[in-house]
Chain A
């Protein structure tokens, strides 16, 4: 009798379990929360900050924090829920990156081809600064730039054209 009751209870429990709705959870992919649960104003602030780092996948260059689309709203709700549970910003970004790839990160990571995005502007700035200082140095050194007009009355010039002019006009150098 006891065994029959136990089996009935077990079957009832398993039937309840079978009915349970289960959605994919962050814990399955990025482990347990590594931070402390957050609530109140801090939760709003952290949600906006993290959602602002995620790209809305159905919009053109908008963050999850700024987009009014239903997809972005759902993502923002999930960010909020994860922060409330104690997930860190790094864990949350990793969770979304696992599904959407680096596309979902508004700030590209410093790796692969993305490295050029970080390096090229700095390189361009350095080349620009060198070019400006190089030009300034030339001017300060009194050397005329290639296409500048020659100084008036340059007596010591060895320009054959000027020598010919002086010869014709009777002026000796």
Chain B
């Protein structure tokens, strides 16, 4: 094999490796594409903060549902909370909002809700099994379920009113 051929082969292999590695450079390493999109949402029924009642997804079937995973130790969750509360009040007849808190203490959650208000059930995910089943990598994360209980969208990070409305419309349409 001539030197030029060896150099060409080396350059091709190097270019392929650089392409593979550079493809991930612009991506958020914590971002996870949800494989749940288009699939039935994992079912759950968890204890509600404050009342102790059990609230489950099944009781909201027939209505689009917004499932928001959050925690009181998460700073961006403070930022998105008013957005969620305002939209839940505004769309209470069309869309059901549910908060799922994990890796947290019920007293702290109750204090948070007392101080910042609430417009929908907040449930405690003891052991984090519900978060794991939804593939939650960090909080806040919000999942949008259509009337049939299928996941139609996932939003990572503190949600803004535009993204919330856009994804709710998607959940209502499908």
- Residues of A with Cβ closer than 8 Å to B? 18-24, 28-29, 57-58, 60, 70-71, 74-75, 77-78, 96-101, 103-104, 113, 116-117, 120, 123-124, 127, 130-131, 134, 146
Contacts and interface: CB of A to CB of B under 8 A. Distances in A.
Contacts of B29: 60
A24 B46 CA distance: 10
Contacts of B3: 146
A22 B56 contact: yes
A116 B20 contact: yes
B129 interface: yes
Contact of A101 (B43, B54, B131, B135): B135
Given A22-B46, A127-B10, 20 more contacts: A21-B45, A22-B56, A23-B44, A23-B46, A23-B127, A23-B129, A23-B130, A24-B130, A28-B42, A58-B30, A58-B137, A77-B127, A99-B35, A99-B134, A100-B32, A100-B137, A101-B33, A131-B6, A131-B9, A134-B1
A144 B103 CA distance: 71
Given A71-B128, A101-B135, A130-B1, A24 B43 contact: yes
Contacts of A70: 103, 128
A28 B130 CA distance: 13
The A interface is mostly helix, strand or loop, or mixed, namely helix
Contacts of B32: 57, 100-101, 103
A101 B34 contact: yes
A82 to B, nearest CB: 11
Given A24-B44, A113-B20, A127-B13, A100 B1 contact: no
B30 A100 contact: no
Interface string B131-147: 11111111000000000
B127, B131, B132, B134 — most chain A CB neighbours (10 Å): B132
A111 B10 CA distance: 24
Given A28-B42, A99-B135, A131-B6, A116 B35 contact: no
Interface of B: 1, 3, 6, 9-10, 13, 16-17, 20, 29-30, 32-36, 42-47, 53-54, 56, 103, 125, 127-138
A97 B32 CA distance: 11
B16 A100 contact: no
Nearest to A103: B32
Nearest to B9: A127
Contacts of B136: 57
B5 to A, nearest CB: 9
Nearest to B134: A99
Contacts of B131: 71, 74
A22 B20 contact: no
B42 A21 contact: no
B11 to A, nearest CB: 11
